[in-house]
Chain A
């Protein structure tokens, strides 16, 4: 197949259609980008370039498998929240990031008087014991001993889906909205 070096970029309508087409998942086909190109009326190379561009500019954070962590035996998830002095948040957030012991670490606003925590982490583990061990390890590794914190284990998960983001058009059905009607109990 001959390829020119100057592939015209997809127009806005095609790009929007492509965002929708892949948000529910990539076609499981040996030429997935060609299938997408056929759907949106572009060329395979244009689709490849466009998705590469989105990956480079950060619109796509990660392109790959999204797992159901409960199915993989990650049965405990805890939100660990800290009350960190404002002038130390950046330093401590950076330390937590370096530790490799959490799956997420964000700064969020306090909501006084009911909520005085401003740094949020998620720790996922096989069971609660493992999560608590990881928390102790985190405190030691990041010099967090003595900082007020709380650990909120999840008890039940009611719903999981991708969030409504790109409006679906009436073409390819998306797996995005398979909302679980059944609550999942976590130990």
Chain B
């Protein structure tokens, strides 16, 4: 990754032009050619530095739902339960964290009702309680990772 890649990552995390030739417009502001920008974005996607290049939806506005949920799993059961939980396509990501509540995952579903039913199915499948902690108020979201 060179300086130009860095400036692409920093600038295009913040937004992307919506016009007929957006890559050309973005390339101009970065001082490179459109072909160079397209090639670099392709490489960054290929080596998995970028997960994707597109919209971040406000799920709730689209009728879908998200929640954060946690479980408390004994150490010797952890891997087995993680595997069971990760089988669910509704799980967006799942982290082991250092706490009594040691498994934390985000659920994304197409409707709010599906959150409750998915949690129920996870509890049945694993035999452990799921603590549902939905977002009640959003003060700040700014997932920006400068490099």
List residues of A whose CB falls within 8 A of some B CB: 19, 22-26, 28-34, 44, 48, 51-52, 54-55, 57-69, 71-74, 77, 79, 89-90, 93-94, 96-97, 102-109, 111, 114-115, 120, 124, 150, 152-167, 175-177, 179
Contact = CB atoms under 8 A, between A and B. Distances in A.
Given A93-B140, A109-B133, 18 more contacts: A23-B55, A30-B34, A51-B55, A59-B57, A60-B57, A62-B56, A63-B18, A63-B54, A63-B56, A65-B13, A67-B145, A71-B49, A73-B147, A97-B140, A115-B131, A157-B95, A161-B92, A162-B52
Given A60-B58, A111-B133, A105 B140 contact: yes
12 contacts: A30-B21, A33-B22, A58-B58, A62-B15, A66-B54, A97-B139, A104-B143, A114-B100, A157-B93, A161-B93, A165-B62, A165-B64
Interface residues of B, number: 76
Contact of B13 (A28, A67, A111): A67
Interface string B116-147: 00000000000000010111111111111101
Nearest to A21: B54
B101 interface: yes
Contacts of A62: 14-15, 55-56
Interface of B is mostly: mixed
B53 A25 contact: yes
Contacts, number: 236
Given A28-B38, A64-B14, A115-B131, A165 B57 contact: yes
A63 B62 contact: no
Contact of B53 (A60, A65, A90, A96): A65
Contact of A164 (B90, B100, B139): B90
Interface in B43-98: 45, 47-59, 61-62, 64, 66, 68, 70, 72, 82, 86, 89-98
B24 to A, nearest CB: 7
A115 B53 contact: no
